[in-house]
Structures are given as C-alpha cells and as structure tokens.
Amino acid sequence: MAVFKISESFIEDNIASEYFACDVARCKGACCTLSGGRGAPVRDDEVDELRKTIPYARQYLPEQHLKVMDTVGAIEGNPGAFTTVCIGQKDCVFVFYDNGIARCSIEQAYVKGEISWRKPISCHLFPIRISANTPERLRDENITECFTARENGRTKNIRLSDYLKDALIRKYGESWYDEFREECRRRNESR
C-alpha cells in the first residue's frame, strides 16, 4: 500500500480518497460492538483521564455493564496495550443502547457538558487506526460494518479526511491537519 508522510506520521494513501460519514441509524453503532473480545485501544496517557470519566459515564450504563465494571474494571491490559473491557466478547463496557443503537456513555457525558474529555482518541479517529510502531502509520480499518458510512460519505460527498477533521486536529494539531488536508486534496486532484 502506498503511503505519504506528514511530519513523522506515515498515512496510507487510500485515507486521502476514501469517503466516509457515519450512519448510525443503519449500522447501529457497530464500531462499539465489534466481536473479538478486545475493546477500544487506550493510550497510556489516556488511562487516568478515562478513569476520571467513569463516575459520569456510569449513569448511562445498563446494569450488566455496571456489574462488569465493578467486578473487573473498565480498562484491561498493560502499558502500551491497554483497552476498554468488553462485555461478552463484543460490547465495549462503556456502551449503552438508545433505540437499538449502541452509544458511548463517555461521549454522552461529554455532549451533555458533564466532562471535558471526549473519549479515547482511538474511538474518535475510527475508522483510522494508528500503529503502535515507530514511525507511526495511519491506516483505514475498512470493515464491513462501516459499509453504510462509506456509502453515506459518497452520497454526501464527504471524504474521510474531512469527516475526521476534529479528531485529527485533537491528535495532531491544526497545522498538521492543514498540511494533511492539502496533501489529500493534491492527491485527489491528480487521480
């Protein structure tokens, strides 16, 4: 896969051209309920912040998730490999359901102004994943559950690079994003 470089990050070329706009009415929040038993990656520097959100996120969670959180916790793993805990090898422990759609209780508390930290950056950036290697590599996690988001992005003419603007700025800053966006534009014009 071809890549391009912004600062010290390598970005897979398809990120520049891919269309994407979440359509939770159709996917039902599938990114928060992927099978496999490992939850969302949590960076070492996010662990304390995530723990601070728990008292606010708990109010939105179903009883089963609260029991798991009280028994085994909300985060598992070791430095460099932390994740959120999963329920039944599927749902993130922070998931609650709203009319059949999986929602994030951390995001809910953020939207309601109860906390200032939005959620783990891995969640905010999804479907982009960042390798743990050095130098880091950004890749598009092209999963079937996000087909409707890709279709929706094409219909609305929203590129993945634009859809994730806030998350990318949060992670890398505005000047990085501006350079990234310009490179995406340049690559798309030359196709």
CA angle, 33 then 43 then 83, to 5°: 35
Residues 6+ apart with CB under 8 A from 10: 3, 4, 135, 136, 137, 138
Reported as a single tens digit per residue, the pLDDT across 131-185 is 877 789 999 998 899 999 999 999 999 999 999 999 999 999 999 999 999 999 9
pLDDT of res. 1: 78
pLDDT of res. 43: 94
Reported as a single tens digit per residue, the pLDDT across 61-115 is 999 999 999 999 999 999 989 999 999 888 999 999 999 999 999 999 999 999 9
CA angle, 37 then 43 then 47, to 5°: 90
What is the mean predicted confidence (pLDDT) over 8-19?
95
pLDDT of res. 88: 85
The DSSP string of 50-107 is: HHHHHHHHGGGS-HHHHHHHHHH-SEES-TT-EEE-EETTTEETTEEEETTEEEEHHH
pLDDT of res. 133: 75
Cα(64)–Cα(162) distance, integer angstroms: 37
pLDDT of res. 36: 78
pLDDT of res. 134: 76
pLDDT of res. 38: 81
Cα(31)–Cα(42) distance, integer angstroms: 15
pLDDT of res. 180: 97
pLDDT of res. 110: 97
Cα(31)–Cα(35) distance, integer angstroms: 10
